[in-house]
């Protein structure tokens, strides 16, 4: 004999089934605090653009690099250094210097990707950060590069500096171009201040199978940077923190340069103050600190400096709750 199930019990069972089918709850996107610490300059080789992003309980977010809207109209790319109006750099009449080629080693290679390590003669933060790729560990790398194999040859699309926590990301170039330039840098982890901003890593590990960097922070906790898309005109990574950010220090930052709209690696801040809200735009110098659910650092007109370098955006901020 089967006993009838009371109506309240049936309702509870149905609710439990729906919850099980829907999976774990996913936090909705949130807005974070954006602080503009930039200043004006006339030197195109000075990183005068500096924004920090802060907030408590941020568990993950996405960094995007996308080609500027004008790239299809670019006839001549410009990537050479410009020391005009700079208080440093070679003298105008100085003889050309033979480019230095730093020692470079292949750390991993498969049918899609190549990972390389680079060593320079010195670095502004001479710390030892072990970098593990697969079963290989190196203690003195200054730069790690990841290359994507394409029909036109390998393309370097993301680089990171273990000693100070700086990263650069770029998309694959359009088919008519050999490559696009790197531009703005971003930092991953709790951002500290010294002669310039930095993030202190205790160790770095890259898993070629999952395309994920695992970062151990010197201040405690871990982070991940997972490559999620590498395509013509668009690349992205997902950044995660465990535990989530505590709000004491910025959890990421961007550094770039701006002299004027046609001489800049980034010229405009384009942001939404709330998830799904209207987009707003202002000069990267004039932007006032505030809240942003997403923010892109972009250019509307071609620049004479790193003309092809991408817009860089921070989006999809999620909390641990």
**21 assigned to some structural domain:** no
**1 assigned to some structural domain:** no
Q: How high does pLDDT run on average in the chain? A: 89
**166 assigned to some structural domain:** yes
- Given a contact cutoff of 8 angstroms between Cβ atoms, the answer to whether 291 and 32 are in contact is yes
**22 assigned to some structural domain:** no
Whole-structure pTM value: 0.88
**93 assigned to some structural domain:** no
How many structural domains is the chain composed of?
Answer: 1
Cβ atoms within 10 Å, residue 111: 5
Nearest Cα residue to 33 out of 57, 54, 56, 51: 54
pLDDT tens readout for residues 78-132: 666 777 767 765 656 566 667 778 889 999 999 999 999 999 988 888 899 999 9
The string over 10-30, giving b where at least 16 C-beta atoms fall within 10 Å of a residue's C-beta and e elsewhere, is: eeeeeeeeeeeeeeeeeeebb
Domain of 78 in residue numbering reads as 27-84+102-319
d(CA 244, CA 148): 31
**311 assigned to some structural domain:** yes
d(CA 21, CA 182): 44
What local confidence, expressed as pLDDT, does residue 176 receive?
Answer: 85
Alpha helices in the chain (DSSP H): 7-22
**90 assigned to some structural domain:** no
- Tens digits of pLDDT across the chain (321 residues): 333 444 444 444 444 433 333 444 558 899 999 999 999 998 877 899 999 999 999 999 999 999 999 999 887 776 667 777 677 656 565 666 677 788 899 999 999 999 999 999 888 888 999 999 999 999 999 999 999 999 999 999 999 999 999 999 999 999 888 999 999 999 999 999 999 999 999 999 999 999 999 999 999 999 999 999 999 999 999 999 999 999 999 999 999 999 999 999 999 999 999 999 999 999 999 999 999 999 999 999 999 889 999 999 999 999 987
**14 assigned to some structural domain:** no
**Computed over its alpha carbons, how large is the radius of gyration of the chain?**
22
């Amino acid at each position: 004999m089967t006993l009838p199930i009371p109506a309240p019990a049936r309702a509870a069972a149905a609710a439990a089934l729906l919850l099980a089918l829907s999976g774990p709850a996913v936090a909705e996107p949130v807005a974070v605090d954006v602080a503009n610490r930039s200043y004006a300059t006339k030197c195109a080789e000075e990183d005068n653009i500096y924004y920090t992003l802060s907030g408590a309980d941020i568990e993950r977010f996405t960094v995007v690099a996308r080609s500027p809207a004008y790239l299809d109209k670019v006839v001549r790319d410009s990537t050479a250094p410009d020391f005009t109006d700079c208080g440093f750099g070679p003298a105008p009449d100085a003889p050309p210097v033979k480019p230095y080629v730093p020692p470079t080693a292949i750390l991993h290679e498969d049918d899609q990707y190549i990972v390389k390590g680079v060593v320079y003669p010195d670095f502004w933060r001479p710390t030892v950060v072990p970098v593990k790729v697969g079963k290989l560990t190196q203690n003195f790398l200054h730069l790690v590069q990841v290359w994507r194999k394409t029909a036109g040859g390998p393309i370097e699309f993301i680089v990171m500096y273990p000693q100070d926590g700086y990263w650069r990301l770029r998309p694959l170039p359009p088919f008519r171009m050999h490559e696009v330039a790197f531009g703005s840098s971003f930092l991953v982890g709790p951002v500290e201040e010294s002669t310039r901003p930095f993030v202190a890593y205790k160790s770095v590990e890259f898993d070629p199978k999952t395309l994920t960097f695992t970062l151990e922070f010197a201040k405690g906790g871990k982070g991940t940077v997972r490559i999620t898309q590498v395509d013509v005109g668009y690349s992205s990574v997902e950044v995660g923190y465990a535990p989530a950010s505590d709000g004491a220090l910025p959890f990421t930052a961007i550094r770039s340069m701006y002299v004027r709209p046609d001489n800049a690696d980034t010229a405009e801040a384009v942001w939404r103050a709330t998830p799904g809200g209207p987009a707003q735009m202002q000069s990267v110098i004039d932007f006032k600190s505030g809240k942003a659910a997403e923010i892109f650092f972009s250019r509307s007109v071609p620049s004479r400096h790193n003309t092809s370098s991408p817009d860089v955006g921070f989006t999809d901020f999620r909390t641990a709750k």
